[in-house]
Amino acid sequence: MSVLGVSSISLNTTDELRFLEASKFYVHLGFSLVKTYSKYSQVASEQKAEHLRGISHDLLREVWLQTVPMQQTDELGNRIPWQDMPFYNGDSTKSLFQGVLIKLRLVAAQTSAVSLQDVRLFSCKLGETEAALKSLNVGVSKDEQGCLTAADPLGNTVYISNRPFSSSTQSFSLPEEFWAFQTDQLMKALPAVDSDSDSDGAADQPKKKKIAVMTSGGDSPGMSPAVRAVVRSGIYFGCDMFAVYEGYEGLVRGGDLLKKMEWEDVRGFLSHGGTDIGTARCAEFRERKGRLQGAYNMVVNGIDALVVCGGDGSLTGADLFRSEWPSLIEELVQTGRLTAAEAEPHRHLTIVGLVGSIDNDMAGTDATIGAYSALERISEMVDYIDETANSHSRAFVVEVMGRHCGWLGLMSGLSTGADYIFIPERPPKHGKWQDELKEICSRHRGYGKRNTTVIVAEGAIDDELQPITAETVKDVLVELGLDTRITTLGHVQRGGTAVAYDRMLSTLQGVEAVKAVLESTPDIPSPVIGIAENQIVRQPLVDSVRDTKMVATAIEAKDFDKAMSLRDSTFAEAYEAYLSTALHDDGSQLLPETERLNIGIVHVGASLSALNATTRAAALYCLSKGHKLFAIQNGFSGLIKDGVIKELSWLDVDGWHNKGGSEIGTNRSLPAEHYGDVAYYLQRYNLNGLLIVGGFEAFTALHQLESQKELYPVFNIPKVVVPATVSNNVPGTEYSLGSDTCLNQLVNYCDAIKQSASSTRRRVFVVEVQGGNSGYVACYAGLVTGAMAVYTPELKINLQTIREDIDLLVDVFDGDRGEDKNGKVVIRNEHASKVYTSELLSDIFSEAAKGRFETRTAIPGHVQQGYTPSSMDRVMAVRFAVQSVKFIEQWSHKAYETLHQGSSHHAVNNLKMLDVMRTHPHNSVVIGIQNALLVFSDIKALYQDDADMRLRKGKTVHWENLSEVGDILSGRSRLRDRRREHEEAKKQ
């Protein structure tokens, strides 16, 4: 089957490993993630099936990967808006080339037959494509015309040609050649135009795209950074940018509320909470008359694209606005408010949505702008409450926001170690929850816990839809004899500046929104920009809104399973983790004694904030299943020298969710110090699995153990590295525990010194950050702090880059209009250069400034490792810990089944069992996030293909886009473009 020129193709497999490898394969070829599904989000209703357009009922997992339609760029590499192409002739104009959508499906083996298919793709750069395939160790063959043939990990044959159609005789080696050819073909297809019309040639001049950005509905931290990103990226891509002040009210009223924005107008927005352009509810826009006036105001200002940042209500209004747009324009012409000539360029309206909501209630995205900032506020407040509750042995009922969505309630329950939570998607039994609550709180008190915390979402109900309020929960706890207080956090959850993650999210999504506008055609549905794990994705806006509304409908119909399924798969996974770590200590989930394991956990490497949270989650999950978790004290050196291993109890790990450092001790020692002693103690304590929590040292430790399996059979037990390092330099993952806490510390630090710098009006701080030989922390910190320049080990510092940054700083300070705060930050990784130290860079900038500005250095040092873990690190610690123990369970079960051939297995490390384990591959893995999927990567493959042992990091640079976006928004890319234009002008 050929996919060239068709919209989509489905590729099925029953093998999960091949499914993950195929996803990596096509992403490496340039495909981007569009959607991701799992069995948790599959709804078998007829409406859902129609809505999801072809999602099969027997799937276990599915990802959609897409190549965007090819689009021409100008001499500076910027996308040319579709409407500005010379062949544009209205909404029916064909695109240069159609994109391809591949649906990768993991299906149940017993229900689906898997057939192999042919996939035909077009590429102008066969050399680069061949190199990409070979980097994946894929065999590639060439025909006499240079076209490539390879097999994807599923066994499908992939043909890659430099001919765009099967019937084509012309080949292309450069995108520019193809663009010119296609443009010529589309120009020839245009209807003839009278040569006398447009005699002045004005029609040949491309018109600038005019884009407006608006925030609407309830405010959320991150909205202002989103506005900044949209405005500056739009200007960089050659568009005229407008801000609609006061939400839809500003769109209806027009006038001064529709303001043209310049680069400097959004200076300082990155560190501001809420929205600097205002938001307001607007009853007028809900009526057609109000939308008609809004359309008029946009047309008279020349605006034909709107980026809306708001919740589901705001985005629903935006999609309705687009659907009515043609009739609104027609009515404005018929009533004489617009002439036909004025209306003609505005027959098509482009709408792009950004989800700004602290509730995280929009379907199709893992996180909404502001959600993690609100979660951080809740976690911080509950941490304070726990201290006073513990002092007085009190109970606290904490009410959080979430009328129709329990995300804040669920995640805050995980991050604060709450005893019980009430959320609308999974309500308790009517009339029975009171006894259940008493039993759980009494049991936890019986362990020796002094404080009790219950989280109640404002939309909490029981399964008969009866409201559950903080007052009713308090009454139950009082009946138990607990001194109980209520705290309603209210709008504290909305307040404050955005955390690092929300700044990153809003910034990347803001830039992506502008790209979506420039790539939009009338046949592409209005997209909403979302995120799946760490990948920015586009979803049809109408689909996301419909799914979101279906949750409330399902709850009203008491179909709570469907309500849960409509949330993303991580929501269901998080709820299961909550049950395992908070409720299932009652013995209800115990495995048979023959299946219970002894699992060790060891901390390796530098101290950081998420180690204890990981250990707590692993211990509580183990206790719920009947496993025993043994803490290896003081790293591998403690094991080698003292052999001290302690079994962790429920009370041992109580309160570890918000403790920084390592309660069991950590250092950089490795098993190679004495393999024999490590093997002896693992065998002595009869450990059936091992969790190694840490950074690159943990990765090295796992590889050392794996390399010695032949000499020490006990090393054949399943072992998992849980990546935990501020540097985020562990191969096999795009996220490491502790990195979010580090970045939040840097955000607060840089905000403080920027305020100091701006007080003097003209000061630059060179901030030195950690990260080792990995530039992740520097690039991320540069993006979320608005740094003017970022220096990393991957991008070598030289005199040219320093000169460029000096020019940029001079340009910025020369353009200071007097009313703006103008402190600046330059971020330098600690190992960016042996020659150009932070002090030397500061001195060079100071010398070159010639009095225009001052410079200082700032080194936050170990402050970056944090004190208490961020809420994101706490939640991810639970996720990584629980999934890692499950991996050990599943892998051990597979090995035992092989040995006993289906009979009851025994968790004993005898020599026969260890030999069976040796024959099962992939038992030493790194858990991590890759290409929007949680995966377990084999240590051997990572060590061979992705580990740079000399520089102590992975070879894959997964944060390149952060650097590119940072350069755009700081103005560095604009400076380079101006220089290039200047040099070209001089040559002419």
Find the DSSP H helices in 557-599.
Answer: 560-566, 569-578
Task: Give the pLDDT score at 534.
Answer: 73
143 is in an annotated binding site: no
Q: Is the pLDDT of residue 819 over 50?
A: no
Q: Based on the residue annotation, tell me whether 359 is a catalytic residue of this protein.
A: yes
What mean pLDDT do residues 965-979 have? Answer: 87
Q: Which domains are present in the chain?
A: 8-185 (3.10.180.90), 207-367+498-550 (3.40.50.450), 372-493 (3.40.50.460), 590-737+869-957 (3.40.50.450), 739-867 (3.40.50.460)
770 is in an annotated binding site: yes
Q: Is the pLDDT of residue 943 over 90?
A: yes
Task: Give the pLDDT score at 191.
Answer: 59
Task: Give the pLDDT score at 121.
Answer: 83
Amino acid at residue number 506: S
Task: Give the pLDDT score at 431.
Answer: 94
* Sheet with 789-791: strands ordered across: 789-791, 824-829, 763-769, 854-858
What mean pLDDT do residues 359-386 have? Answer: 94
Min mean pLDDT across 12-21, 472-481, 784-793 is at: 12-21
Which is catalytic among the residues 152, 276, 359, 805?
359
| Distances in whole angstroms, Cα of residue 245 to Cα of each of 358, 507, 896 | 21, 19, 65
Task: Give the pLDDT score at 40.
Answer: 47
Task: Give the pLDDT score at 920.
Answer: 59
Q: 763: pLDDT confidence band, cut at 50, 70 and 90?
A: confident
Pairing of strands 258-261, 240-244: antiparallel
Task: Give the pLDDT score at 197.
Answer: 43
Query: Residues 543, 43: contact at Cβ < 8 Å?
Result: no
Task: Give the pLDDT score at 43.
Answer: 38
Sign of the alpha-carbon torsion through 613, 616, 622, 623: negative
Query: Residues 654, 689: contact at Cβ < 8 Å?
Result: no
Task: Give the pLDDT score at 113.
Answer: 61
729 is in an annotated binding site: yes
Q: 72: pLDDT confidence band, cut at 50, 70 and 90?
A: low
- Collapsing DSSP states into helix, strand and coil, what is residue 674? coil
281 is in an annotated binding site: yes
pLDDT in tens, 83-115: 566 665 555 556 666 667 788 888 876 555 667
Q: Which two tokens stand for residue 277?
A: 């352009």
Task: Give the pLDDT score at 506.
Answer: 97
Mean pLDDT of the chain: 86
pLDDT in tens, 843-873: 999 998 888 888 999 999 988 987 899 999 9
Q: Is the pLDDT of residue 354 over 60?
A: yes
494 is in an annotated binding site: yes
What mean pLDDT do residues 3-10 have? Answer: 55
Task: Give the pLDDT score at 118.
Answer: 83
Q: 359: pLDDT confidence band, cut at 50, 70 and 90?
A: very high
pLDDT in tens, 209-241: 899 999 999 999 999 999 999 999 999 999 999
Q: 501: pLDDT confidence band, cut at 50, 70 and 90?
A: very high
Bridge partners, residue 719, by sequence? 690, 924
- DSSP 8-state secondary structure symbol assigned to residue 661: S
Q: 284: pLDDT confidence band, cut at 50, 70 and 90?
A: very high
Task: Give the pLDDT score at 475.
Answer: 97
pLDDT in tens, 247-263: 999 999 999 999 999 99
439 is in an annotated binding site: no
972 is in an annotated binding site: no
979 is in an annotated binding site: no
Beta strands in 808-904 (DSSP E): 824-829, 854-858
pLDDT in tens, 788-803: 999 999 988 988 889 9
Q: 134: pLDDT confidence band, cut at 50, 70 and 90?
A: confident
Q: How far apart are CA 84 and CA 511, in angstroms?
A: 20
What mean pLDDT do residues 367-372 have? Answer: 95
Can you give the pTM of this predicted structure? 0.84
What φ, ψ does residue 15 adopt, rounded to 5°? -105, 115
Q: Which two tokens stand for residue 492?
A: 């504290």
Min mean pLDDT across 376-390, 740-754, 887-901 is at: 887-901
* Sheet with 484-488: strands ordered across: 420-422, 452-457, 395-400, 484-488
In the structure, how many helices (H) and strands (E) does the chain have?
30, 33
Q: Is the pLDDT of residue 674 over 50?
A: yes
Q: Is the pLDDT of residue 1 over 60?
A: no
Q: 203: pLDDT confidence band, cut at 50, 70 and 90?
A: very low
Q: Is the pLDDT of residue 912 over 60?
A: no
864 is in an annotated binding site: yes
- Collapsing DSSP states into helix, strand and coil, what is residue 710? coil
User: Who wins on pLDDT, 733 or 810?
Assistant: 733
User: Who wins on pLDDT, 177 or 288?
Assistant: 288
- Residue pointed to by tokens 């037990």: 717
∠ at Cα 455 (454, 460), nearest 5°?
120
Task: Give the pLDDT score at 132.
Answer: 82
What mean pLDDT do residues 808-818 have? Answer: 72
- DSSP 8-state secondary structure symbol assigned to residue 627: -
Task: Give the pLDDT score at 4.
Answer: 37
User: Who wins on pLDDT, 900 or 49?
Assistant: 900
322 is in an annotated binding site: no
Bridge partners, residue 838, by sequence? none
Q: How far apart are CA 725 and CA 606, in angstroms?
A: 8
pLDDT in tens, 764-791: 999 999 999 999 999 999 999 999 999 9
Task: Give the pLDDT score at 170.
Answer: 74
Min mean pLDDT across 174-188, 266-280, 408-422, 615-629 is at: 174-188
Query: Residues 597, 907: contact at Cβ < 8 Å?
Result: yes
Query: Residues 555, 536: contact at Cβ < 8 Å?
Result: no
Q: How far apart are CA 774 and CA 770, in angstroms?
A: 9
